[in-house]
Amino acid sequence: MRKSRSLRKPRQQRLLSTDELGSTAFGGDLLKKSNAKTKRPFSPRAAIHVVMRTRGAFSLLKRGRRARVAQVVAVHARRQLVHVHRFANAGNHLHFLVECREQERFQNFLRAVSGAIARLVKIEEGQTRTESFWLQRPWTRLVAASGRAFVNVWRYVDLNEIEGGAWGISRREAQAIQYGDLGPPRPWLSFA
């Protein structure tokens, strides 16, 4: 008589934590060709750098949308109790430096802001296509709430705001404006 071997029940797979992965970034190009295998990293004590990219070049600056986009961000941040340290509209992408104490509220903030901005732009342009407005998922990275990393992200978001606010400005010129090192006067950089 042959003895049958019982099969072991396979162990259920679990999501790896950010500590096990060693990563604090999520979304964007990292998930361009696949679905998420892990949760979006979150810490109630850390600031979060968020980047949201659109399909259209300068679609967030056309016809004075800058103020309306900023208003949408402010309204949803207030609703979801998300503290926005810095916000930059660079035309084809948005940068945020935010803090939130609850993961669910942060996810709701991302969902609400991305939907409201897409709806605002599509209605204004009269689009009826169902093509996605956003190029990819929002990219997020955890940043220590204080210290050098926080200051670097703060400056980076400010730099993007300067670049988005002036047409045809280079990164070097934006850095010169940011740090107050304009050198000789340049008529094309006057903001008067």
**pLDDT, one tens digit for every residue, the chain (192 residues):** 566 665 555 554 444 444 444 466 666 655 556 676 677 888 898 999 999 999 876 678 887 888 999 999 999 999 999 999 999 998 889 999 999 999 999 999 999 999 999 998 888 877 766 678 888 888 899 998 888 889 889 988 988 888 877 666 777 777 777 777 654 444 444 443
Rounded to the nearest 5°, which phi and psi values hold at 98? -125, 165
- The whole-angstrom separation of Cα 47 and Cα 57 is 28
User: Is there a domain that residue 15 lies in?
Assistant: no
Domains identified in the chain, total number: 1
Which residues span the domain enclosing 120?
41-182
- The whole-angstrom separation of Cα 18 and Cα 38 is 8
The CATH code of the domain that includes 178 is 3.30.70.1290
User: Is there a domain that residue 18 lies in?
Assistant: no
User: Is there a domain that residue 190 lies in?
Assistant: no
